Each structure stands twice: as C-alpha cells, then as structure tokens.
Amino acid sequence: MRKHRAFAFLLVVVALSLIWSAIRPHDYPTWFFELFLGFAGIAALVALYRRFPFSALVYILAASHFAILAVGAKYTYAEMPLFNWLRDTFHLARNHYDRVGHFAQGFVPAIVAREVLLRTTDLKRGKMVGFLPICVCLALSAFYELLEWWWAVLAYKEKGGDWLGWQGDMWDAQGDMFMALIGATLAIVTLSRVHDRSIAALRDDKPVASGPPQT
C-alpha cells in the first residue's frame, strides 16, 4: 500500500506541476526543453509500474524533482522570482535556482540508480553500490550540459549565453556538474538506510500466493 500511495502522489504532483508550469511560461521552447527529460523519466516510471515497481522513496523523490523542473521551466532558471529576491536581498552574484536544479539532478537519480543496481545485478550493499550511482549521476550531468549546448546553438544562436543561464559565470557548466556530484554523494550518504527499508517494504505490497489446500 505504501508503494501505491507514493505512486499516486507522484501522478498528482506531476499533473499539477505540469498544468501550472504550462500557463504563460517565460517562453515555450525553453519550457519544452527544461521539461522533456523530466517528463520522459516520469513516463518511464509509469510504464514500468506493473513490471518493475520502484520503492516508495523513488516515487516521492521523482515527484519532488519534477516540481523543481517545472518551476525552472516556467520562469527559466536565471529568473526564478524567489531566487531573484534572494540575490537582491543578500547581494549575491547571481540567481542560484539553477544550482538547486542541478543538485536535484544528482540527488534523485542517485537513488534510482542505486535501486536498479541492487535489484537487477549481483552487487551487494556496500562501497560499489554507493560509488557507481554517483558515477552515473555525474555522467548524466555532463551529458545534460552537452544537450544544453546543442540546444543553445540550434535555437538561440545569438543569445545562447543568456539562455544557458551563465549570468556572467564562465565556469557555470563546471559548477552545475559539481552540484550534481554533491547531490548524488549526499543522497547516498544520507538516504541509503532509508532506501533499503523502502525497498524491503516492496515485499509487503506483493500479494502472497496461496498454495493448494493442505490435507
């Protein structure tokens, strides 16, 4: 039942976030780019729900991650209003919502990758099951930076730097990948035990097969 409630939570959060984000975003090409990978991930979780249901923790984290993406898609990561206020109030060099998004880009996929490794390979809980998800997240973060570069060249040739959200930071891509690395590492360090319990709870959601009557 815990898994089913978490899956329902995922669907509700995604639906509400998607509808809200689609109402008068900053511009629709940016909105589409920022959400299509997140939506593809959610679609994969939905498609796999019966054949390979994930733990409740994965669904809750995925819903939270999609909400973060929806906010960035609506306003762009460089113009998120709350972080504009933080920038102006505390005299920061830039709007840092982009860093929040990239932190989540490591934090959430790390738990997904950990679960896939634990449930589909012979790896046991230990150092490698902690190390490999971090590597996966860093690779995904680097690939996302490549996608941003390609999209900026194709769709924003004259203002690619503005669209990418550099905000004057020539090391923006490296900072984004570093935040993903921090997020993935923190997820493994802080959530591994919680994740193990969430995986174990999957067994409680499975119906017990009834055998032939005993004589």
What's the pLDDT at 205? 66
Task: Measure the CA–CA gap between 11 and 15, rounded to whole angstroms.
Answer: 6
The model scores a pTM over 0.75 = yes
Task: Measure the CA–CA gap between 84 and 62, rounded to whole angstroms.
Answer: 26
Q: Helical H runs in 23-167? A: 28-47, 56-75, 81-89, 97-120, 127-155, 160-164
What's the pLDDT at 146? 86
Please give the average pLDDT of every successive group of 10 residues along the chain, which has 215 residues.
Answer: 89 97 91 90 96 96 97 91 94 90 95 97 92 96 84 67 58 87 97 96 63 40
What's the pLDDT at 171? 75
3-state secondary structure of 165: coil
What's the pLDDT at 150? 78
